[in-house]
Amino acid sequence: MKKDLEKAVEWKHLTPLVLLALSFVLLKGCTSRVIQKEMKTMSDLEWGPVTAWCQISASADRPSYKASENIYVTVVLKNASGQTVQYQPFPFSPEIDYKVTFEDGAPVELTAFGRIRRDSAGITSSAVEKIMSGKEIVYEILLNRRYDMTLAGNYKFQVFRQIEVDSQGKLSTATSNIVDIEVVEQE
């Protein structure tokens, strides 16, 4: 009985170490998949026009998704000027900073979460940050968390971001390229 108790005590101390080692093995597999994901380089991206100091690129991981899959888009906002500028990076909200439409231009409905994000845009904000010349800010957006993209069809995504163009607070709208996204029915 004493030996059984000693073995139980040994396992009690070893269990956290075994779980920790197992966690590292599992996490290593998760991170290696992320790293192995084919990444576009900045030179591969399509860009919208330069507006004042700002140029925006939008892209999706791939052109087609099943209706039940997560649809991530990546937005890169670049300071294309030769000087440091001030920029307020957040909020970055649906229907205010970006839109999803059907192929015919009709707007796609927001989800409940998307409406909350849109409606809280005036409430949440962040301090103004400085972006050095040539530097980028990258946003990753789970698009179908914000927009109802459950119907099979062709969608278009584009960024329309208000930016300050001078020290008096004059605003202009910077736009990205248009991203075509196809959603197909689940098999």
Same domain? For 57 and 125 the reply is yes
- Residues 137 and 98 grouped into a single domain: yes
User: Do 12 and 53 belong to one domain?
Assistant: no
Lowest average pLDDT, out of 22-31, 72-81, 92-101, 154-163, goes to 22-31
Q: What is the largest CA-CA distance in the chain?
A: 82
Give me the CATH number covering residue 171. 2.60.40.2970
Give the pLDDT mean for 27-54.
62
27 sits in which H/E element: helix 2-36
For residues 159 and 139, the answer to whether their CB atoms sit within 8 Å is no
pLDDT tens sequence across 47-103: 999 999 999 999 999 999 999 899 999 999 999 999 999 888 777 788 889 999 999
- When divided into structural domains, the chain yields a total of 2
CA 179 to chain centre: 14
The CA-CA-CA angle for residues 145, 148, 152, to 5°, reads: 120
- Residues 109 and 134 reside in one and the same domain: yes
**Same domain, yes or no: 15 and 86:** no
State the residue range of the domain holding 65: 42-184
User: How far is CA 74 from each of CA 15, 29, 42, rounded to the nearest angstrom?
Assistant: 41, 23, 12
